[in-house]
Amino acid sequence: MSFLSVLSGSFSTPADGNPTVAMMEAAYAAAGLDARYLNVDVSSANLADAIIGARAMGWVGFNCSMPHKVAVIDHLDGLGESAELIGAVNCVVARDGDLIGENTDGKGFVEAMRELRHPGGTHVVVLGAGGAGRAIAVEVALAGAARVTVVNRNVARGEGLARLVVERTEADADFQPWTSAYAVPTSADVVVNATSVGLGDPEELVNIDVDSLRPELLVADVIPNPPHTAYLRAAAQRGAQTLDGLGMLVAQGAVAIELWHGISPDRDVMRARLSQVLGPESPN
Ligand code: NDP
């Protein structure tokens, strides 16, 4: 009998609205793991000390969320391949005394996407080129997408991401400046909203020509809260298949548990717990 739990958690600020702890602790309980996931509010000024504390206490790892995903890199001993490509870390893993930065956001998206459509050979349109957009564009390209179209208001950020995909993966990529309601091209198989539009507001609609959301498309959103976004509702009304942000959130957390504990957690338990704390299921 041991009274010493394995420790993991999340460093972000503000942290009180982050639901990840609920699904991670549900996964640990379902797997019978004597592990804890602590949601910790850490300011930028305290990030270095928090990481020293995690090392000292023997944490198996921790998630980093806003605003630490880039700043954390200076405090780590190395980076995994996609974290290095993406230039951001959302998951730190303790390995043989070293802290290694990984990025599970895009991996989570690809895992959730695979349940509905295989990424191989697809044309994926990514709306947004921030942290989530970079992670998704890079991982769908690494997973075999043939083409990635990046759509973004900020030209330098969008062009930079398209160039990164072309230079560092096998996929083709192009950039489209986002100046008016975006019409999804007929060549596209998947369109994903990777902007923050819709977060916390079920009526806020991303600037898109909703009539271009054809029934053949997989229409995905990164927004986990509320999961039933105006964009996904518009897509479902037009007969398109939808993938909500809970799928990505669950999958990126499940990948983190695999990295920290070497077990594959029960995704259904994690999703059910998230739905319980956040609200109803997506439209289809
Ligand atoms: P960033 O701040 O890094 O990037 C935000 C992106 O959204 C930028 O491309 C920005 O464009 C774009 N954007 C913001 N407002 C608008 C607007 N009104 N119209 C068009 N584009 C807009 O944020 P992140 O990428 O880190 O996060 C984005 C969202 O992804 C958040 O809501 C977050 O909750 C969600 N997320 C979900 C995850 C999940 O597991 N489900 C995981 C990670 C993130 P520009 O460059 O032109 O300013």
Structure token digits, residue 3: 């009274």
Cα–ligand 1 centroid distance for 131 (angstroms): 7
Q: Which atom of ligand 1 is nearest to the CA of 198?
A: 32
Q: Which atom of ligand 1 is nearest to the CA of 158?
A: 46
- Of the pLDDT bands very low, low, confident and very high (cuts 50, 70, 90), residue 282 is very low
Residues for the chain: how many in total? Answer: 284
- Residue ranges per domain, the chain? 6-103+247-278, 106-243
User: What average pLDDT score do residues 66-89 get?
Assistant: 94
Q: What does the mean pLDDT of the chain come to?
A: 95
Collapsed DSSP state (helix, strand, coil) of residue 72: helix
Cα–ligand 1 centroid distance for 133 (angstroms): 7
Fold of the 6-103+247-278 domain: Rossmann fold (3.40.50)
Q: What is the CA radius of gyration of the chain?
A: 19
CA proximity to 63, closest of 13, 121, 1, 8: 8
Percent of the chain topping pLDDT 90:
91
Q: Using CA atoms, how far apart are residues 194 and 176, in angstroms rounded to an integer? A: 15
Where is pLDDT greater, at 1 or 38? 38
- Of the pLDDT bands very low, low, confident and very high (cuts 50, 70, 90), residue 2 is confident
pLDDT at residue 122 is higher than 50: yes
User: What average pLDDT score do residues 239-256 get?
Assistant: 95
C-alpha pair distances (Å), 253 with each of 28, 120, 159: 11, 23, 29
How would DSSP label each residue in 177-208? E--SPBPPPTT-SEEEE-SSTTTT-TT---SB
Sheet holding 147-152, edge to edge: 172-177, 147-152, 123-127, 190-193, 218-221, 241-243
pTM (predicted TM-score) = 0.93
CATH number for the domain formed by residue range(s) 106-243? 3.40.50.720
Predicted confidence at residue 78, as pLDDT, reads 97
Domains 6-103+247-278 and 106-243 alike in fold: yes
Predicted confidence at residue 142, as pLDDT, reads 95
**Closest residue by CA, ligand 1 atom 31:** 196
Predicted confidence at residue 278, as pLDDT, reads 82
Predicted confidence at residue 281, as pLDDT, reads 54
Predicted confidence at residue 17, as pLDDT, reads 86
Best residue among 64, 196, 207, 271 to mutate for probing ligand 1's pocket (most ligand atoms within 8 Å of CB) is 196
Predicted confidence at residue 280, as pLDDT, reads 58
